[in-house]
Amino acid sequence: MRPSPGDLLVVDGRASVQFAGDRALTFRVVSVCDRPTYAGWVWLTGYVINRAGRATAKREVYVQLAGLHPAAIAPPAPRRQRNGDTGTSATGSASTHAAASPSRRRRRHWCHDRRNT
């Protein structure tokens, strides 16, 4: 199975020994690194999903493609709004305050920063 962004996967001991037993993860794929690795292995970036269906941590994992399998599809978790935040500005358009925050800027994945040498 070749994962793609948006896939919900179970990452367990079949994918890599570090995820065996109670260390297994439900993982939402954000990106798949296209840099060459050992045959049958891949770097994935994504979010660990808890039992409630919420993302709890962003991770990069190195796993065997043959060990990946789809997770049972859980319903999306309802999004909570902050107190007083309606999600729209005074003009009725969507709020962009989170996008402007420097702490929320997207960092580039390490495999995209490397140059071919």
Residue 47's SS3 state is strand
Query: pLDDT tens-digit profile of 93-109?
Result: 444 444 444 444 555 55
Task: Please give the tally of structural domains in the chain.
Answer: 1
47 occurs within a structural domain? yes
Distance separating alpha carbons of residues 36 and 41, to the nearest angstrom: 9
Q: Which helix (H) or strand (E) holds 10?
A: strand 8-11
Residue 116, pLDDT > 50, answer: no
59 occurs within a structural domain? yes
Which domain, by its residues, includes 38? 1-73
Quote the radius of gyration of the chain (alpha carbons, Å).
17
65 occurs within a structural domain? yes
pLDDT of residue 56: 95
Q: What is the DSSP string of 48-91?
A: EE-TTS-EEEEEEEEEEGGG-EEPPPPPPPPPPPPTT--SB-TT
Query: pLDDT tens-digit profile of 16-69?
Result: 999 999 999 999 999 999 999 999 999 999 999 999 999 999 999 999 999 999
Q: Is the pTM of this model over 0.75?
A: no
99 occurs within a structural domain? no
Q: 67 vs 10, 63, 84, 112, CA distance in Å?
A: 9, 8, 45, 25
